[in-house]
Structure 1
């Protein structure tokens, strides 16, 4: 990906769109592609909730967390349960290459949970200013992606991020306190966050 295409991709993210693999290549959509007008945000304040059962897992220190240690591995894990790219999933080879390019340029990141020396789960997303757009997550060991999500929220807080976009609400995200907001409000929050400096990694 050259600089011109990179800027075009970042503009799409800045407007609240995310990539999905299509038969013709890559399409850009917002939450309406999933049949809802509302955008889902994970709160970075006291509204974020950690289920009691997960607190025990966190306290057990069964998982180690790392950033970008195996970005390609998280990408494969998010593609399908089988870990391969396919036209039958939104994360096609074309979309995977897009994320790899964004990672090389320092915009896409993986927040990972490791178990017994192996990648066990993680969250994939894009950082723009003080906004983190969570695109996907996966696990191969139970609770791994949940641990990664909690530690990611803690990381975003310490780094001064203001918005954690999780795109579309579902019961899993709602357990952690994810809320739905009006699309106009979302775009305003996203625009303001992008203007503010924040670094996902040093």
Structure 2
């Protein structure tokens, strides 16, 4: 495992351990975060711990044409009970992702330091958000890193049923129109699997990442 100090460097992703951890330490400066994402690496750690940098194998992704929208979800979309906006309220989205209670999770990995770092990336036009509204109230959303051909999803939240799914589907449809290659979802979870996401080899992911 590689230990980062002040040097702006990451080892090749092939050096990640079996869990997917590539490096420890460093900081969340915009320069380091941009270097990480452009090389298939992302931070994920609990508050109070050293920063862990991940490059898992396999990698959970969504090929945009493989999005699975259930019949019940189509009915919800057709009823137009939600309004979706893009990149209009990034800070509220990431704050809600930090605060939302999740089943089986004690606390959050989205620390105040993490929020500050991603808000700075948002100001640079790199971190972006999707907002889901109902009657003028923010009820769901997600945020991530936009690499121009891949969108790296970071976290989503939902205050009412299906709100985050609506945001996810809207994002995928937007990425398809803009000819993005895929949506990076990082690691497996059943919710993402139900939406059509699947695991691919890290080498395949890296090949797509580098084919700008």
What TM-score do you get using the length of structure 1 for normalisation?
Answer: 0.83
Tell me what 1:20 maps to: 44
> SS of the residue aligned with 2:44?
strand
> SS of the residue aligned with 1:119?
strand
Tell me what 2:205 maps to: 186
> SS of the residue aligned with 1:142?
coil
Q: 1:55 offset after TM fit, Å?
A: 0.5
| Residue of 26, 31, 45 corresponding to 1:7 | 31
What TM-score do you get using the length of structure 2 for normalisation?
Answer: 0.80
* Larger RCO, structures 1/2 (Cα 8 Å, 6+ apart): 1
Q: 1:101 offset after TM fit, Å?
A: 0.6
Point out the structure with max Rg over C-alpha. Answer: 2
- Aligned counterparts of 2:170 and 2:133: Cα–Cα separation in 1: 12
Query: Relative to structure 2, which stretch is displaced further, 57-66 or 4-13?
Result: 4-13
Query: Across the two proteins, how many residue pairs are aligned to each other?
Result: 180
5+ unaligned residues in a row in structure 2: which ranges? 1-7, 9-28
Any runs of at least 4 consecutive aligned residues in structure 1 with deviations exceeding 4 A, and if so which? none
Computed over aligned residues only, the root mean square deviation of the Cα atoms, in angstroms, reads 1.7
Q: 1:144 offset after TM fit, Å?
A: 0.5
Q: 1:73 offset after TM fit, Å?
A: 1.0
| Residue of 80, 101, 120 corresponding to 2:99 | 80
Counting helix residues as a fraction of each chain, which structure ranks higher? Answer: 1
